[in-house]
Amino acid sequence: DAMVIQNPRYQVTQFGKPVTLSCSQTLNHNVMYWYQQKSSQAPKLLFHYYDKDFNNEADTPDNFQSRRPNTSFCFLDIRSPGLGDAAMYLCATSRVRGAGGPGNEQFFGPGTRLTVL
Amino acid sequence: KNEVEQSPQNLTAQEGEFITINCSYSVGISALHWLQQHPGGGIVSLFMLSSGKKKHGRLIATINIQEKHSSLHITASHPRDSAVYICAVRTPGDLYSGGGADGLTFGKGTHLIIQP
């Protein structure tokens, strides 16, 4: 089945130790998103890629970076994780971006829960 | 920035009851999503609407664009429906308005528990 896959499902890192989260998709969608969801809060968009075009949200900390080497894969790099970065990280895809329409529906991965010690 | 409000925040009901979850937003949108999140799990998209009503099994979603309001209904609720239900909107606009043209702006979710 076509899907959005996130690895690992659970990641533990140490304070200040760089960590990379992975997302892959078999949907061949043009747009890939990364969201951060802290405990009991709504998900918050960090950035998205439209093809290779990177779009950062204005309030995303510099500590968070992303790479998209090809259509299928997108990585979230946290350069120096702090305790406040412990959260669920959700990857999502959509076929197109922009105004509403069938191609805008977002498909979510299962998430990676990051723990910072 | 679009403000998305959901009500109720928490809802406990008995199996078989008809459930309604409400969502309102402050700025005109291009699409509204209803999403389901199980404890510790990822998010599943239930519906995406821009007008009218959609039905899938026991789930019904409606939207009133003029009133900036949407509802999610669950008929004949079952314990397996227990989850957090999240309303999220896509707002037309530039990429620098926070959750603008492409990302979603999420409500805080409604935590639903269906007791046997």
3-state secondary structure of B73: strand
Whether the pLDDT of residue A97 is over 50: the answer is yes
CB atoms A33 and B90 under 8 Å: no
Whether the pLDDT of residue A1 is over 90: the answer is no
CB atoms A104 and B99 under 8 Å: no
* pLDDT in the model for residue A42: 85
Give contacts of A92 with chain B, Cβ < 8 Å: 43
- The answer to whether residue B35 neighbours chain A at the CB level (below 8 Å) is yes
Q: Where are the alpha helices (DSSP H) in chain B?
A: none
Nearest CA in chain A to B32: A100
Instruction: Give the mean pLDDT of A23-48.
Output: 91
**pLDDT for A36-71, tens place per residue?**
999 888 888 898 999 998 988 878 999 999 999 999
Give contacts of B30 with chain A, Cβ < 8 Å: 98-100, 104
Nearest CA in chain B to A91: B42
Strand B83-90 with A73-78, pairing: unpaired
Beta bridge partners of A32: A49, A93
Instruction: Give the mean pLDDT of A78-102.
Output: 85
* pLDDT in the model for residue A103: 67
Residue holding tokens 């402050």? Answer: B26
Task: Quickly count: other Cβ atoms within 10 Å of residue A24's Cβ.
Answer: 19
Interface test with B, best of A9, A40, A45 (most B CBs within 10 A): A45
Banded pLDDT at A96 (limits 50, 70, 90): confident
* pLDDT in the model for residue A102: 63
Please give the interface size between A and B, counted as residue pairs whose CB atoms are below 8 Å apart. 77
Residue predicted with more confidence, A100 or A39: A39
* pLDDT in the model for residue B93: 58
- Determine which of A50-59, B78-87, B104-113 has the lowest per-residue pLDDT on average: A50-59
Q: DSSP letter for A30, please.
A: S
Residue holding tokens 């970076």? Answer: A65
3-state secondary structure of A52: coil
Banded pLDDT at B100 (limits 50, 70, 90): very low
* pLDDT in the model for residue A98: 59
Q: Which of A43, A55, A110 sits opposite B95 (nearest CB)?
A: A55
